Structure formats: C-alpha cells, structure tokens
A and B are shown apart, each in its own frame.
Chain A
Amino acid sequence: MTTTTETAVTTQVYRVYIKATPEAIWDAITKPEWTQKYGYGGRAEYDLRPGGAYRGLTSEAMRSMGSPDVAVDGEVIEADPPRKLVQTWRMVMDPEMEAEGFTRLTWEIEESKGGITKLTVIHDLEGAPKLAVLLSGGMEDVGAGGGWSWVLSDLKTLLETGTSLDTEDALNQG
C-alpha cells in the first residue's frame, strides 16, 4: 500500500454500526477493563474532563517483547458521555511517529434504530504521514496491527459476541 504515503491524506474517517448501547460503546473506548480486550489490547487511562490526561498503555504481551509501558499519550479536549469524545493523540512507541507530534481524534457515538449504535472515528492526521500509514493498516504486514479498521472490527465483534477476534497473528512483534 505504498500509494498511501505519496498522497496528502490528512483526515481518516471510520464508521461502524454496532448492536450495543451508546453507553456500552463509551465504556469500551474509555475504560481499561474494556480496552484491554480488543485491538492492540492495552489498558487506556482517561481523565475525562477538558485538559485531562490520556494514556494508552501497551499490552502485557507487547511489554514482554520489550515495548515501553506507554504506547500513546494525549489530552482530553471534550468529553460528553456517551456521545462525543475529542482528544489529542500521539504515538510514542516509535521515535519518528512521536516526532510528528499530537494529532486530533474525535469519537462520535450516535444511537440508531433497532438497538444499533453508529460509531464514527475521525482522526485528523495533518503533519503525521507516518502515523497515517500505521493507522490505515499499512504496517500490518510487519506485525504492527491493522490500524483503526482492524481495531473497530474487533470492537464490534467483542461487543456483539462477547469475545474478540484472535489478534495474536497481527501483532507478531518478535
């Protein structure tokens, strides 16, 4: 997927429909006991008020392979549970991505018909081309996970079935 790096894509938008309540989705995004069950599998720490700190920790499996404790850091800009969360987001596991600085991430949760909730993730990645490749799944082949679509697919599976996909294969950090 080399074309991704050559273009000036600065915003990524992802949307998934999940058979769950907005509250359940809010908890799955903001509570560590949920975030450790899907996607990259790390615990999230949110201080859910404007200016509050955010840390996305690495998973135990990642740390056992030598990863530092913190994968992502940032700050909460707006927290309106269970509808909207706006935050900054910086990947600190990779020095080059860390140097790209803070990006802006928005989570929108909207109740739809029939017990379905619409979750939209808008990631403004201006000035962060390396991070953009990682989050669009462009580094899945090298064991860095499949980015947002992979995370959101796993989140949907977890909330709808109670178990997540087997993400071990996608995170071969050896």
Chain B
Amino acid sequence: MTDDDRVFKALADPTRRFLLDRLFVRDGRTLTELESELEMTRFGVMKHLRVLEDAGLVVARRSGREKLHFLNPVPIRLIHDRWIDKYTERRVSALADLKTELEETA
C-alpha cells in the first residue's frame, strides 16, 4: 500500500474522521479523553487510532506518563498539493482557454 492509499483508507471511515475532528478542535489528547467522546470500547478506539497513526494522520508522543495524540495535517496537505491543486489548476486553465476561444470567434 502506498502512503496515499493509507491516508485515503484512514479517511474513509466516519469514526476516524470524527477522531481527527476532535483533535482539530483540541490537539494533544490522551486515549482516555478520546474514548470518552465515543460510544465504543477502548480497544475499538485504539484500533482506529492505530490506522490513523499508520497513515501518519495522528502522531503520538509521550509527555511524562501520558501518551498524547496529535493531529498531523501534512499527509492531507501532500494530497492537496499533489492532486487537488493539479486538477483545479487544469480546470481554471480550461476555462481560460474557453474564454480565449469564445472571444476570438466573437
């Protein structure tokens, strides 16, 4: 699986998107805090966090005795910069070409 595949796979699940949204609102949370916002077993939340970590979307760091989870937006940025920018640019240039063509024939 490529890096992009792992990111898309991780984002394809509503619980995992919910976890990312919670971290976006307040970053650096423990498993216990994240678990308290979901009706799911601790084991289930851990499994989802593992998928997010494997995709690089969550980075876990130790702080004293606690393990804190941080949202890492870089993989999404990479997809944005490499894919979305590319396609939107093309659309914009297609519109520009259309405008030139229409104005020439008018």
Given contacts A146-B77, A153-B77, A153-B81, contact A13 B70 (CB under 8 A): yes
B77 surroundings in chain A (CB, below 8 A): 137, 146, 149-150, 152-153
Selected contact of A15 from candidates B25, B59, B80, B81, CB within 8 Å: B59
| Residue of chain B at shortest CB distance from A116 | B3
Q: Is A8 an interface residue (CB 8 A)?
A: yes
A103: CB under 8 A from chain B? no
Rounded to whole angstroms, the CA-CA distance of A94 and B59 in the bound complex is: 30
Q: Which of B3, B25, B56, B78 contacts A7 (CB 8 A)?
A: B25
Closest residue of chain B to A165, judged by CB?
B81
Which residues of the partner chain B approach A15 to less than 8 Å between Cβ atoms? 56, 59, 72, 74
The reply to whether the CB of A163 lies closer than 8 angstroms to some CB of chain B is: no
The SS class assigned to the A binding surface is: mixed
CB of A11 within 8 A of CB of B72, answer no
Q: How far is the CA of A149 from the CA of B81 in the complex (A)?
A: 10
With both beta carbons as reference points, the residue of chain A lying nearest to B72 in the complex is identified as A15
For the complex, count residues of B whose C-beta is within 8 A of A: 19
- Distance in angstroms between the alpha carbons of A136 and B25 in the assembled complex: 12
Partner of A3, one of B3, B25, B59, B70: B25
- Can you name 19 A-B pairs with beta carbons within 8 Å? A3-B25, A7-B25, A7-B26, A8-B26, A9-B28, A11-B28, A11-B70, A13-B27, A13-B61, A13-B72, A14-B73, A15-B56, A122-B61, A150-B77, A152-B74, A153-B74, A153-B77, A153-B78, A154-B81
Interface residues of A (CB under 8 A from B): 3-4, 7-17, 120, 122, 136-137, 146, 148-150, 152-154, 156-157, 165
Q: Which 7 A-B pairs have the closest CB atoms?
A: A13-B70, A149-B77, A149-B73, A153-B77, A9-B27, A149-B74, A16-B74
